[in-house]
Amino acid sequence: MNDRPELFRGNRIFLACIYWAFVLYVFVPLILMVLMGFKDSRFIGFPIRSWTLEWYTGVFADTEVLSTFGYSIAIAVLSTLISILVGTWIAVLLEGRKFAGRGLTFGLTLLPALVPGIISAIAFRIYARWLGIEPGMGAIVWAHAVHNVPFVVLVVMARLSTLPKSQIEAARDLGADPLITFLRITLPYLVPAILGASIFCLLLSFDDFVRSFFLGGYEPTLPVMIFAMLRSGMSPEINAIATVALVLTAAIGLWAERFTRRMNKER
């Protein structure tokens, strides 16, 4: 009896060490990046002798950077809308139904999430050219939407599977036909899942480099622009842009996580 708590405590300290090592491993590069964005020198490295907001004011004054930001957000929003529509529709079709080939259908639905980005990007490029689709916003939105659909399907299906059958039956019993039942009972129930999936899709699209690079026209998305800037060397402006993007995505992600968790608890 006496040994076991000791052993347990030892384990806990060990586990805590591993945890904090992991935190350092994840956050040190991010912290470095953020710090360099405030350093009053083009040279990246320590020591930092004086601080500045110069890089930030530069970035925010640069209309090209701002329009790229907007372009990336527009792509993210459009592709998310499409993924949500298609993904929710597929989830509703697949969940709780038994038909021949359901497993195959489900597998095919998930495939776009599993194909390596570079391969799907090249495939899209070839396909787009064959169809005569010009590289640019449309092509990127299309590729992002296809890539994100599986995530929507998974999240929405998981939520749908927890909807008690009696809810649907109660609505029918009270006079609602299947369509009204879907709109007034099923859809409101899916809202937390759809919101969560939307945020996830927005972030995935905003962050995507490979597909945007291969399918983009003359106008770069944010990651593509950063990549282009990098070719002329690392600069504090990149740190500033990346920090803004980091804060934005982290804030949205955290808010969404809290929000969906609260909604799930309420319903």
Partner 1 sequence: MTDPEPLVRIEGLTKHFGETVALDDLTLDIARGEFVTFLGPSGCGKSTTLRILGGFERPTRGRVILDGADVTNQPPEKRQVNMVFQDYALFPHMTVAQNVSFGLELKGMGKAEIKRRSDEILSFLELESYGSRYPIQLSGGQRQRVALARALAPDPALLLLDEPLGALDAKLRGQVQQELKSIQRRTHKTFFFVTHDQEEALTMSDRIVVLNHGRVEQDGTPEELYFRPASRFVAEFIGETNLLSGRVRGKEDDKIVMDWHGQTLRGLAPQGSPDQGEPITASVRLEKLQFHSERPEMPNAVRGRVVGKTFLGSRMAMEIAVDDVEDAMLRAYVDAETGARVGSDPVWIGWDVDSMAMLTD
Residue list 180-199, contact with partner 1 (CB under 8 A): 180, 184-185, 188-189
Between CA 85 and CA 153 the distance in angstroms is 10
171 binds partner 1 (CB under 8 A): yes
Between CA 193 and CA 260 the distance in angstroms is 7
219 binds partner 1 (CB under 8 A): no
- Are the C-beta atoms of 216 and 128 separated by less than 8 Å? no
Hey, how many other C-beta atoms are within 10 angstroms of the C-beta on 210? 19
Among 5, 45, 47, 175, binds partner 1 (CB under 8 A): 175
Assigned token pair, 209 = 């480099």
User: Residue 67 or residue 167: which is nearer to partner 1 going by CB?
Assistant: 167
Nearest distance from C-beta of residue 197 to partner 1, angstroms = 18
- Going through 127-242 in order, the beta strands assigned E by DSSP cover none
Q: How many chain residues are in contact with partner 1, going by CB under 8 A? A: 19
Between CA 10 and CA 7 the distance in angstroms is 5
H-helix or E-strand containing 145?
helix 137-160
172 binds partner 1 (CB under 8 A): yes
267 binds partner 1 (CB under 8 A): yes
244 binds partner 1 (CB under 8 A): no
Nearest distance from C-beta of residue 257 to partner 1, angstroms = 21
The residues that touch partner 1, with contacts defined as CB under 8 A, are 164, 166-167, 169-177, 180, 184-185, 188-189, 266-267
